[in-house]
Amino acid sequence: MTAEWDIDQLDLDAYLRRIGHDGGTAPDAATLAAMHRAHVASIPFENLDIVLGRGIAVDLENVQRKLVHDRRGGYCYEHGLLFAAALERLGFTVQRLLGRVGGDAERPRGRTHMALRVHIGDEVWLADVGFGSGLLEPLPFDTGAARRQGGWTYSIATEGPHAWALRERQDGEWVTRYRFDDVRQHPADVEVANHFTSTFPRSPFVGRIVAVRKEEDALRELIDRTLTVTRPDRSSESREIADAELGPTLRDVFRLELSSGELERLARAAPPTAP
């Protein structure tokens, strides 16, 4: 099954340098947790190539070039494909899954989010380095148990045979972030989901800047020109980013270095909010 994902194309040493992981690489729970945290801390969540008119490629060669060698970020498919390839190269067993973002709704959304189910012996873990506002480290599939990650609290709820939901504790209540099952996915499924997510006019990633960074005590989000910092207690503050601040904000907050030409194009695509 791993052959169809072209994991042999991954420069594993370059990836490990990119995320700053110099610890153990045995296919065990400690390695999984350490690499997950290192990936989330090092490679940002962002959609800037969509805004810049380049689109998103989800073959491993292009994902690796962008996120590893060019030191850019990406969104869920890019993160998930890269992390899965690294894990499999180290000997982990990985299922690539597509989920439906959001909670209860009369009309469920399409499968537009990618997450990973990782098997280590008899243990099963949910790994997700590409949700942006989601997990800092993997969650074990002991469904119903609350798990704290810094100031954030998560759990996995069973929704039916081979079906689950990732939930987050917010304002004293459990909020479903996304639902998923263990239906096997193929590269073609990711291609279709990515095409929809990166081109559909009402996609949240089309027509606006999105950059996200999650830490133990804060979630930082740039949506067009609004920078919002949200704490685990749901308190938040927001401010507007002027043209001159756009580059420094992307660099200092989200660790994204863009050229002056790219910043000019982003500024034109997302003009400041009128006073």
Q: Catalogue the active-site residues.
A: 76, 113, 128
Cα–Cα distance for residue pair 187/51, rounded to 1 Å? 24
Q: Name the phi and psi angles at 246, rounded to 5.
A: -60, -50
Rg (CA), the chain: 18
Cα–Cα distance for residue pair 12/87, rounded to 1 Å? 10
- What are the distances in angstroms from CA 164 to CA 97, 106, 158, 189? 12, 18, 4, 20
Between the CA atoms of 213, 188, 193 and 226, what dihedral angle is there, to the nearest 10 degrees? 30
List, in sequence order, the alpha helices (H) in 136-242.
187-199
Cα–Cα distance for residue pair 114/98, rounded to 1 Å? 5
For 98, the token pair is 């597509």
